[in-house]
Amino acid sequence: MAEPINTGLVSFGKASRVYHGPIITSVPELKLTKVVERHREESRKRYPWVEVVRDTDTLLEDDDISLVVITTPNDTHYELAKKCLLAGKHVVVDKPFTTTSAQARELIDLAAEKNRIINAFQNRRWDGDFQTVRQLVNGDQLGRIVEFESFYDRFRKHKRPDAWREKPGEGSGVFFDLGPHLIDQILVLFGTPEMVTADIRLQRDHAETDDYFDVILHYDRLKVRIKGGMLVRTQTPRFLIQGMNGTFVKYGMDPQEDALIAGKTPDEPGWGIEPEDRWGTMNTDINGLHVVGQVESIAGNYIGYYQNIVNAIRGREQLAVTPDQMINTIRIIELAFQSNEKKCTVRFSE
């Protein structure tokens, strides 16, 4: 077996503590070896073997590091990813990949020039409920899909004063936070839309950045809606799908995030299995029979994201999150903000 790919983390905030660290260390072919922490050594409490360095330049000087994972604030992604590529490293960037599509294109072109892999961390492709929905959309159980709705709602009426996402700035706000997850999933299912219509707002008292979005992606004979807000106290569906033959509705979030927050790791038995009370329900016609009942969710598997990165680095398979999808996710965000500002529908080609 080949030696593990030595991996460095740039910052050890929530994204690294909850997601990247536990997932990386659950993949046998990856070895977390260095972490950038400017003032503390929190990473060593959980991973005592790692070396803590104080800046990214020191990390990049280590020739043994092949893969660098960037989990810093959104407005730093482009510059840090570029620096890593120029240092000859493979790069994973936490979503959103960049804050503009022009930056995304530049980084992807630079990675190709340097013969290195760069990718956006779109772990929610490996949510079990999304994997289930993907099979339903690609199958014929619901018939041709005519309307697809995806919700990511929360209830938190007060903004967090120390959270950079809730302060004005490039890449801040809930749409840049949650939008990339939902948009990426839609691109996987349906490709790029023809048009975008968006309503993006500041709803909460004293909000300084957007905390609500309602975006419609227009396709031929298909309407897709992605919606998220911070003032939703009653449970809304995670997915609601209408097809020519029937309907699928799913409540509740994939269990992997809660498990990670609780300190569990993806290599534990039973990982990603969703409880029965969260399974979606389907009401449809199949082969002349009226079928009503639950659809068991496929087990989620966040390890799948990083295993794909390993396989791509070693030339065993293509990247699951493609360069075009990375660019188009940011492009749709740009068009949504344009639509909101102009109060009109904008074409994707604009």
Q: What does DSSP assign to residue 155?
A: B
Instruction: Give the Cα-Cα-Cα angle 328, 330, 331 (nearest 5 degrees).
Output: 60
DSSP string covering 161-205, please? Answer: TT-GGGSSSTT-SHHHHHHHHHHHHHHHHH-S-SEEEEEEE--ST
State in Å, rounded, how far the first CA of the chain is from the last one.
Answer: 48
The predicted structure's pLDDT at residue 225: 98
Instruction: State the Cα–Cα distance between residues 107 and 63, nearest whole angstrom.
Output: 21
The arrangement of secondary structure in 127-304+331-347, i.e. its CATH architecture, is 2-Layer Sandwich (3.30)
pTM of the complete model: 0.95
Provide the residue count of the chain: 350
Is domain 5-121 classified as CATH 3.40.50.720?
yes
Q: Where exactly are the structural domains of the chain?
A: 5-121, 127-304+331-347
Instruction: State the Cα–Cα distance between residues 330 and 342, nearest whole angstrom.
Output: 18
pLDDT tens for each residue of 176-222: 999 999 999 999 999 999 999 999 999 999 988 999 999 999 999 99
Q: Which residues face 218 on adjacent strands? A: 195, 223
The predicted structure's pLDDT at residue 165: 82
pLDDT lower than 50: segments of the chain: none
For a pLDDT cut of 70, what percent of the chain falls above it? 99
163 residue type, one letter: A
Instruction: State the Cα–Cα distance between residues 328 and 347, nearest whole angstrom.
Output: 13
Q: What does DSSP assign to residue 19?
A: I
Q: Strand 239-243 and strand 145-151: pairing?
A: antiparallel
Q: Which residues face 197 on adjacent strands? A: 216
Q: How far is CA 133 from its chain centroid? A: 16
